[in-house]
Copies of this chain bind each other. A is one copy, B any other.
Amino acid sequence: MPTRTDPLIHPLLRGRWSSRSFDPTYELGEDELEQLLEAARWAPSAGNSQPWAFLVLKRGEPAHERFVQMLSRGNAPWVPNASVVLVSLFKSGDDEDPSFTYSDYAEYDLGQSVAHLTVQAGSMGLGVHQFAGFDHDAVAAEFGVPASWTVTTGIAVGRYAGSVDREWDGRERVRNPLSTFVFTNRFGEPRWS
Which residues of A are interface residues toward B (Cβ below 8 A)? Answer: 5-6, 8-10, 12-14, 16, 18, 30, 33-35, 37-39, 41-44, 46, 48, 50, 52-58, 61-63, 89-90, 104-105, 107-116, 118-120, 123, 130, 132, 143-146, 149, 152-153, 173-176, 178, 181-188, 191-192
Residues from chain B with a CB closer than 8 A to the CB of A111 are 105, 107-113, 115
Q: Among the listed B37, B109, B183, which residue makes an inter-chain contact with A53, where contact means beta carbons less than 8 Å apart?
A: B183
Q: How many copies does the complex hold?
A: 2
User: How far is B115's CA from A120's CA once the two chains are assembled, in angstroms?
Assistant: 12
Residues from chain B with a CB closer than 8 A to the CB of A116 are 13, 115, 119
| Contact (Cβ within 8 A) A120 B10 | yes
Residue of B nearest to A111 (CB): B111
| Contact (Cβ within 8 A) B8 A35 | yes
Q: Among the listed B13, B38, B108, which residue makes an inter-chain contact with A153, where contact means beta carbons less than 8 Å apart?
A: B108
Q: Among the listed B13, B37, B46, B110, which residue makes an inter-chain contact with A178, where contact means beta carbons less than 8 Å apart?
A: B37
| Contact (Cβ within 8 A) A182 B54 | yes
Given A38-B8, A110-B108, does the pair A55, B183 have CB atoms closer than 8 Å?
Answer: yes
A-B contacts, 11 of them at CB < 8 A, read A8-B35, A9-B38, A13-B43, A16-B44, A18-B44, A48-B175, A50-B181, A52-B181, A56-B183, A61-B184, A105-B153
